[in-house]
Chain A
C-alpha cells in the first residue's frame, strides 16, 4: 500500500482526470457570486482530515481572491483558525497580486465555541457572536465586515467540513434560505447526496479529487493534482485486493468447492 501511494508522488504518472458535475456546479456557484457580495467560509474539520480538503480550500480561496467579493472565515472548532491562517499564508502572494488586503477584503473571525448553538447564534447576529477577529481586532475596524448583520447578508456559504452538514443546513439553508457549497471529505459524499438532489446544497467538492478538479477548472495546479495519481493507484489497489480476496476465499475456505476439489483429486 505504501509503495503504491509513494511512487506516483515521487514520479508522477500524468493519469487523466475527468471533471465531475458536482465540482463543476460548485465552481459555477462561486463564479456566479455577484460583485461586491460577501461570502461566508465556515470550517469544521479535524486536523487529521485537513490534508484531504486543503487543496480544494487553497484553490477556492484563490477563486474568491480573484473576484471582487469579500469573504470571512469562521471556525466551529479550536484547531481551525490556525489551519486557515496557514491556508491564507499560502495564498498571500496571490492576494497581493490581486490587490486584496486582510481586514479590507477578507477576515478570519477565529473559533466560536458551541457547535450548532454557535452556528445558530452567528446566523442570527454576526456582530454579537463574533465581535472581533481571531487576532482580537474589533470588527468595527474591519471594512470587510461592514454591513454584515445576519446569515441573509452572505451571497454564498462555502462549508469546509469533515463531518455532517445537517447542522449547517438546519441553521442556514432551512432558516435563512442561504446557498451552500460543501467542501467535504470523500467519505461523506454518500451522506450528502440527498441534500444535493433536493437543492439544499448547490455544490459539493469531494476531497482531494474534487480539489484537483477545481484546480483544473481554475487552471491553477497544486497539491490536489500532484496527488491524484497516488489516489488513482491507491483505489485501484483496494479494488484488486477486494477481488483477489474473494477469488482466494472461493478456492480455499468455501466448503462446497473444497469438497469438490478433494473428490476430484481422489
Chain B
C-alpha cells in the first residue's frame, strides 16, 4: 500500500495521460484518438466527483465551526441546513420539480445578482474617488474610461466623434495590449503544463 503513495507513480500516470492527449492533437492516429477520448472521459468523471468533494469539504468546515461554536457559528449552521435541504430536494424530487425550481428561481437566482449589484455602487464611488488625473498616464486612463463609458451608454454613442475615438481606443491600443497579454498567458500556460507533467508544480505534487 505504501508503494501506491509514492508520488513518482502519480506523476508518471499524469505525464503519460498528458503526453498522450498532446500527441493525439498533433498526430492523426486513430488508436491515439480512441485512447485520448477514453482518458478525457475519465477526466470528466473525476471532475464530477470533485464537485461532490467540494460540497463535502464545505460541509465539514462549517459543521466544525457550528459544533465548536466559533464566531458566527449560527451562520455556519444555517448554511449546512440550506445546503442539505437543497441536496435532498434535488435528489428526491429531481431538479425539474416545481419546488426545486421555485427555490432556484426565487432564492438562488435572486441572491446572486443582488450580490453582484453591490458592484454598481462601488463603481460609482471609485469613479468619483479614484479616477483622478494625477499623472499623464492616469489622465489618459481617465479620458479613455470616460469615452468608453459614454459609448457603452446607448445614447452616448450618438454624441459626435465619441464613438469613433472610443472604438479606436478599444480596437487599436487596447487590442494590441490584450494580444500581448494573451501571448504571455499562453506561454505561461505551457510553462504550467510542463511543470505539472514533470511533477514540479506546487500544490499538485506536494
Residues of A within 8 A of B120 (CB): 1, 5, 234
Q: Please report the C-alpha to C-alpha distance between residue A175 and residue B152 in the assembled complex, in whole angstroms.
A: 33
Residues of A within 8 A of B123 (CB): 238
Q: Which one, B59-67, B73-81, B155-163, is touching chain A? A: B155-163
Residues of A within 8 A of B154 (CB): 15-18, 209, 212, 228, 231-232
State whether A245 touches B124 (Cβ < 8 A). no
| Chain A: CB-nearest residue to B150 | A239
Q: Please report the C-alpha to C-alpha distance between residue A20 and residue B128 in the assembled complex, in whole angstroms.
A: 29
| Chain A: CB-nearest residue to B178 | A194
| Chain A: CB-nearest residue to B185 | A166
- Supposing A190-B178, A193-B175, A194-B175 touch, asked if A120 and B170 sit within 8 A by C-beta, the answer is no
Residues of A within 8 A of B50 (CB): 113
A118 CB to closest chain B CB (Å) equals 5
Residues of B within 8 A of A18 (CB): 154, 157-158, 163
- Supposing A16-B155, A243-B146 touch, asked if A124 and B133 sit within 8 A by C-beta, the answer is no
| Chain B: CB-nearest residue to A47 | B112
A197 CB to closest chain B CB (Å) equals 6
State whether B112 touches A48 (Cβ < 8 A). yes
Residues of B within 8 A of A244 (CB): 128
A212 CB to closest chain B CB (Å) equals 7
A166 CB to closest chain B CB (Å) equals 7
Residues of B within 8 A of A81 (CB): 95
A175 CB to closest chain B CB (Å) equals 7
Residues of B within 8 A of A231 (CB): 152-154
Residues of B within 8 A of A73 (CB): none
At the interface, yes or no: A51 with Cβ under 8 Å from chain B?
yes
At the interface, yes or no: A83 with Cβ under 8 Å from chain B?
yes
At the interface, yes or no: A249 with Cβ under 8 Å from chain B?
yes
At the interface, yes or no: B184 with Cβ under 8 Å from chain A?
no
- Supposing A194-B175, A242-B128, A242-B142 touch, asked if A114 and B156 sit within 8 A by C-beta, the answer is no
A 80-103 contacts with B by CB, 8 A: 81-83, 85-86
Residues of B within 8 A of A189 (CB): 170
State whether B124 touches A238 (Cβ < 8 A). yes
A 180-230 contacts with B by CB, 8 A: 186, 189-191, 193-194, 197, 209, 212, 228
At the interface, yes or no: A125 with Cβ under 8 Å from chain B?
yes
A15 CB to closest chain B CB (Å) equals 4
State whether A245 touches B128 (Cβ < 8 A). yes
- Supposing A1-B121, A18-B157, A51-B113 touch, asked if A121 and B149 sit within 8 A by C-beta, the answer is no
A85 CB to closest chain B CB (Å) equals 8
| Chain A: CB-nearest residue to B174 | A190
State whether B178 touches A191 (Cβ < 8 A). yes
Q: Please report the C-alpha to C-alpha distance between residue A241 and residue B116 in the assembled complex, in whole angstroms.
A: 21
Q: Please report the C-alpha to C-alpha distance between residue A79 and residue B157 in the assembled complex, in whole angstroms.
A: 35
Q: Please report the C-alpha to C-alpha distance between residue A16 and residue B153 in the assembled complex, in whole angstroms.
A: 10
Residues of A within 8 A of B129 (CB): 245
State whether B127 touches A242 (Cβ < 8 A). yes
At the interface, yes or no: A7 with Cβ under 8 Å from chain B?
no
Interface of A toward B, CB cutoff 8 Å: 1, 5, 15-18, 20, 46-51, 78-79, 81-83, 85-86, 112-115, 117-118, 120-121, 124-125, 128-129, 134-135, 166, 175, 186, 189-191, 193-194, 197, 209, 212, 228, 231-239, 241-246, 249
Interface of B toward A, CB cutoff 8 Å: 21, 25, 33, 36-37, 40-41, 43-44, 46-48, 50-51, 95-96, 101, 104-105, 108-109, 112-113, 115-116, 120-121, 123-124, 127-129, 131-133, 142, 145-146, 149-150, 152-158, 163, 170-171, 174-175, 178-179, 182, 185
Across the A-B interface, give the 3 residue pairs with the lowest CB-CB distance, nearest first. Answer: A48-B116, A114-B47, A235-B153
6 extra interface residue pairs, beta carbon distance < 8 Å, beyond A124-B33, A124-B36: A50-B109, A117-B43, A237-B124, A239-B156, A242-B128, A245-B128
A sample of 11 inter-chain contacts (CB < 8 A) reads A15-B155, A16-B154, A18-B163, A48-B113, A49-B113, A79-B108, A112-B44, A114-B48, A124-B40, A228-B154, A241-B124
